[in-house]
Chain A
Amino acid sequence: MSTQNGIVIRLDHVSRVYQVGESEVRALDDVSLDIAAGEFAAIMGPSGSGKSTMLNVLGCLDTPTSGSYVLDGEPVEKLSEDRLAEVRQKKIGFIFQAYHLVGRMTAMRNVELPMIFAGVEPRVRRDKVRAALEAVGLARRMTHRPDQLSGGERQRVAIARAMVMEPRILLADEPTGNLDTRSGEEIVALLERLNAAGLTLVLVTHDPRVAEHSRRVLRMRDGRIVTE
């Protein structure tokens, strides 16, 4: 394993329990996990195995019921909702299967969104948006709205948006799930490039061919990591 300093994600006996009616659902069951800076990890497993909960906890969208989570040296399991929002803003980028682009906004505007909520100066924003879209190869699609873009292009806009705040970690939830094979491969190649440049990448996928690209595959079942 990596040294203490190189670890960006450390889960220590983390559980996440939901109360569904009378019964308890242990979506995460005593999970311990270290992910080092610059790693590319894929999480696989059948639906209901806790992949999404894992990603939500890692992305500070959900908090563990018990256990501790140290993100980039900072314990986050006890932070307030607003402090968690700040952590997401500065350290984490998200991409989703359904892209989650805002339909009424152009590609540029979508990429600008995280910086708007971070209170970044408009002039700085403009330069960064341009750079981020150029980096994903969409220099000539900047003023298009999502419905004028292909699925692969939409996911690239989403990646540009996730990267524009320069996060340490990129969390991807089935990023190729809605794409044809070729577009999917392009997206994976793009993610690999970002990873090669030093970004820590955690990716949830059903697709073994996508998982092959990662250097580490975590298989989940019933809220536990069963194999590595």
Chain B
Amino acid sequence: MRRPDLIQLAFESLRLHRLRTGLTLGAIAIGVTAVLLLTALGDAAKGYVVKEFAGVGTNLVIVVPGKVETSGGMPAFGGSTRDLTLEDCDAVLRQSSVVRQVAPFSLGAGAIEYGEKSRDVRVIGTTAPFLDVRKLTISSGQFLPPGDPRQGDRVVVLGQKVARELFQGENPLGRLVRIAQWRFRVIGVLGPKGTSIGIDYDDLILIPVSVGLKMFNQTGLFRIMVEAASPEAVPMALEQVKAVLIARHDDDEDFTLITQDAMLKTFSAVIDALTAGLAGIAAISLAVAGIGIMNVMLVSVSERTGEVGLLKALGARRRQILDVFLVEAMMLSTAGAAVGVAVGVIVILIAAGIWTFIPLKPSPGWIALVITLAVVAGVSFGLMPARRAARLDAAEALRGRH
């Protein structure tokens, strides 16, 4: 039997029951669209996170005070946790061969005032390498000057938004501001960066770390940012930093090292699991649609019992009868999948146009998978009714009995 003939026979039969065909096709299309939309959302969430982490810097190792136990939870409190100090920073930079730069990081919050205006901001205390390590840019003036981290003038670099809202078009360079009642001179403004791992770099200010520690009366650093010589050197840098700090902390590992890679892997794994879960839920609707196909095909077989008997009398073999019904089921599911993909892609593109900050896009991989799934569902749910048709007794079927 020729393939075009099979397709034509199936088409003739599907065309006869337009409503029934349309409804079944719609059920499949809805399932397919659901899978596409949910997986696109999952992919977009992952893309968003990956983009965020890419902005952190791939060579980065972050030192956090306190040991985070493998069971998770808060860093341990108590006497055993030593502060991370500027001396630790020096030691790491001097004693680790694959460490390129180290930037201390202290964190406080206070009001910054200029003239009548005042604004609550985060105050980061750090040193010159921070600009490079955190991949920030300067839009005007300069960043914190290099030099001994234990010394530092009262100078400040403003985030974009802080500068804009406080000075409102006025040139902030060289102006004096008050931060938590301390007077600072503005020496630079950051370029736009936006939010990166929870910190909005447009809405903060940076001052020398020694001034920051003194101002907020802190003895230890919030973080130490360590930049390895290359992404490949990160594992070795981890070992070296660990060894240096353990030696300095009386053989006690009272700190935690975080790499961007590890964070990214954790987040990716969580989002992948979520996406798979969503896809699974959506796939249930495909299975339901598959049962719809089976139902329609069963009705079709019992309506066409006489026709099956006739075809057998005319010399159709079992396999040919099976094929006729199976191709019908496959055409239903394939057409449904095509409609579903078209609708899904259009919806995704429209949504991507509206919410430009989410990297929504149709994924060829998911589309291929969902079409395969739909066709497989068509075949597997169409098989039972088709078998039933193929096995009908010709003589009985001709008499309209089954």
Is A79 on the interface with B (CB-CB < 8 A)?
no
Instruction: Determine the chain B residues whose CB is within 8 A of the CB of A118 once the complex forms.
Output: 315
> Mask for B318-330, Cβ within 8 A of A = 1, else 0?
1110000000000
Q: What residues on B are CB-neighbors of A104 within 8 Å?
A: 12-13, 15-16
- For the complex, give the distance between the alpha carbons of A101 and B319 in Å: 22
Pairwise interchain contact A62-B395, C-beta atoms closer than 8 A: yes
How many angstroms from the CA of A212 to the CA of B314 in the assembled complex? Answer: 28
Tell me whether A94 and B314 are in contact (CB under 8 A).
yes
Please pick, from B12, B306, B312, the residue contacting A105 in the complex, using a CB distance under 8 A. B12
Determine the distance from Cα of A109 to Cα of B395 in the docked complex, in whole angstroms.
23
Given A56-B395, A100-B398, are A86 and B306 neighbors across the interface (CB < 8 Å)?
A: no
Residues of B with C-beta under 8 A to A105: 12
Whether B311 lies near A113 (C-beta < 8 A) is yes
In the complex the two chains form, is A89's CB within 8 Å of B314's CB? yes
What is the 8 Å Cβ interface bit string for chain A, positions 51-75, against chain B (1 contact, 0 not)?
Answer: 0100010010110000000000000
CA distance A89 to B317 in the complex (A): 10
Task: State the CA gap A82–B390 with chains docked (Å).
Answer: 11
Min Cβ gap B322→A in Å is 12
Q: How far is the CA of A165 from the CA of B320 in the complex (A)?
A: 18
- A104-B13, A116-B1 known; 5 new pairs, CB 8 Å cut-off, are A62-B394, A62-B395, A85-B315, A88-B314, A96-B398
Asked if B306 and A100 make an inter-chain contact with CB atoms under 8 angstroms apart, the answer reads yes
Q: How far is the CB of B97 from chain A (nearest CB, A)?
A: 77
A25 within 8 A of B: no
Expressed in whole angstroms, the minimum distance between the Cβ of A109 and any Cβ of chain B is 8
Interface size of B as a range: 20 to 34
- Partner of B313 from the list A82, A90, A94, A109 (CB cut-off 8 Å) is A94
B contact residues around A114 at 8 Å (CB) = 314-315
Q: Does B307 contact A (CB under 8 A)?
A: yes
Chain B positions 1-47 with a Cβ under 8 Å from a chain A Cβ:
1-2, 5, 9, 12-13, 15-16
- A134, CB-defined interface residue at 8 Å: no
Give the A-B contact count at a CB cut-off of 8 A: 69
Kindly state whether residue B299 has any CB partner on chain A within 8 Å: no
A59 and B313 form a contact (CB under 8 A): yes
Q: Which of B16, B307, B315 contacts A86 (CB 8 A)?
A: B315
CB within 8 Å of A: which B352-402 residues: 394-395, 398-399
Q: Which of B15, B310, B318 contacts A81 (CB 8 A)?
A: B318
Kindly state whether residue B270 has any CB partner on chain A within 8 Å.
no
Closest 5 CB pairs of A and B: A89-B315, A114-B314, A117-B316, A61-B395, A56-B395
Q: Mark A85-116, 1 if CB is under 8 A from B, else 0.
A: 11011100010101010101100010001101
**Smallest distance from the beta carbon of A67 to chain B beta carbons, Å?**
18
For residue A208, CB closer than 8 A to chain B, the reply is: no
Most chain B beta-carbon contacts within 10 A, residue among A52, A62, A105, A116: A116
Question: Cβ of B394: which chain A residues have Cβ within 8 Å of it?
Answer: 61-62
Can you list 19 pairs linking A and B with CB atoms under 8 Å apart? A52-B399, A61-B313, A62-B394, A85-B317, A85-B318, A86-B317, A88-B312, A98-B306, A100-B306, A100-B310, A100-B398, A102-B307, A105-B12, A116-B5, A117-B311, A117-B314, A119-B1, A122-B2, A161-B314
Q: Which residues from B are CB-within-8-Å of A109?
A: 12
Asked whether, in the complex, the Cβ of B310 is within 8 Å of the Cβ of A102, the reply is yes
Q: Mark B284-317, 1 if CB is under 8 A from A, else 0.
A: 0000000000000000000000110111111111
- Give the docked Cα–Cα distance between A88 and B312 (Å): 8
CA distance A114 to B318 in the complex (A): 14
Do A117 and B1 touch (CB < 8 A)?
yes
Task: Indicate the member of B307, B314, B395 with the most A CB atoms within 10 Å.
Answer: B314
CB–CB A119/B2 < 8 A: yes
Interface hits, A107-137 → B, CB 8 Å: 109, 113-114, 116-119, 122
How near does chain B come to A58, taking the closest CB pair, in angstroms?
12
Assess the B316–A85 pair: CB atoms within 8 A.
yes
The complex places the Cα of A153 from the Cα of B304 at a distance, in Å, of 22
What per-residue 1/0 map shows which CB atoms of B239-259 lie under 8 Å from chain A?
000000000000000000000
User: Contact: A90 with B315, CB < 8 Å?
Assistant: yes
Enumerate chain A residues within 8 angstroms of B317, measured Cβ to Cβ. Answer: 81-82, 85-86, 117
**Inter-chain contact A113/B1, CB cutoff 8 Å:** no
Q: Which residues of A contact B307 (CB under 8 A)?
A: 100, 102
- Measured CA separation A56–B396 after assembly (Å): 10
Chain A residues positioned under 8 Å from B319 (CB to CB): 82
Note all chain A residues with C-beta closer than 8 A to B12. 104-105, 109
In the complex, are the beta carbons of A117 and B313 less than 8 A apart?
no
**Chain B residues in 8 Å Cβ range of A82:** 317-319
Among A61, A86, A90, A117, which residue has the most Cβ atoms of chain B within 10 A?
Answer: A117
Residue of A with least CB distance to B394 = A61
Contacts of B309 in A (CB 8 A): 100
User: In this complex, what residue of A is CB-closest to B390?
Assistant: A81
User: What CA separation (Å) do A90 and B314 show in the bound complex?
Assistant: 9
A82 to B307, CA, bound (A): 18
| Bound form: Cα–Cα A102–B312 in Å | 13
State the Cβ distance, B36 to closest chain A Cβ, in Å. Answer: 34
